[in-house]
Amino acid sequence: MITDVPETDLKTCPDCGQSLAEPHGECADCGFQYDERTRVWRCGRSWQHRFLYNALAGLAAGLLVTIAYRTAHGAAPNALLPILTGIAVALAGLAFDRLLSGRLSGRFVALTPSGVVLGTRRQRRLVPWSDIHRLNTRGRVPKLELIGDQPDVPLEDVFDTRAELESFRRALQQAPAEPAS
């Protein structure tokens, strides 16, 4: 049994967020298939974490702008400049994360009875077990290599740590040998 998987007890659907009452079956809302062996990995950095990180960076930038302005002109134009800059940078950072990395959109990868499911809360792709050759971790982005001439499937912005990626690799190696129910 793999013990370092980030989410193993599915209480909510990773695709739509609805509550899953049964230990196996299909999500009534979106049709996501799962069983007791289904494993899900997702970026652990929540929007709250990203907002706080960006707000602190923005607050620091606002303080630097205020200090520079005071040094050059003798007085700050607005006492709220650091706070307003912090909020603006936090919101811009969240928008940037959403556009470029998908972390806010619920990006996930799941090992299910049917294969590997990759998705965000808006789109889902199933890669059947019979199409998967191996996991390629050369380069910055891990990719599922598929059999034949099919293009590799990138697994961007899912794993926060090397340990999570390694737990996914081990589970992926074990999963095809397990019979689907």
- Does 14 reside within a domain? no
Q: State how many domains the chain has.
A: 2
Residue identified by tokens 């929007």 is 47
pLDDT for residue 179 is more than 80? no
- Does 10 reside within a domain? no
Q: For residue 9, how many other CB atoms are within 10 A of its CB?
A: 9
Give the contacts of 8 (CB within 8 A, at least 6 positions apart): 2, 39, 40
Residue identified by tokens 């190696």 is 173
Residue identified by tokens 């659907």 is 13
| 54 and 84 belong to one structural domain | yes
Domain range for residue 88?
A: 47-100
Q: Hey, which residues does 19 pair with through a beta bridge? A: 12
Write the CATH number for 152. 2.30.29
Residue-wise pLDDT tens digits, 84-93: 777 787 778 7
Residue-wise pLDDT tens digits, 94-122: 777 666 554 445 678 999 988 999 887 56
Residue-wise pLDDT tens digits, 71-80: 887 776 677 7
Predicted TM-score (pTM) above 0.75:
no
| 118 and 156 belong to one structural domain | yes
| 145 and 90 belong to one structural domain | no
**Range in 65-69, 95-99, 131-135 the model is least confident about:** 95-99
| 135 and 171 belong to one structural domain | yes
Per-residue pLDDT band for 143 (boundaries 50, 70, 90) equals very high
pLDDT for residue 1 is more than 70? no
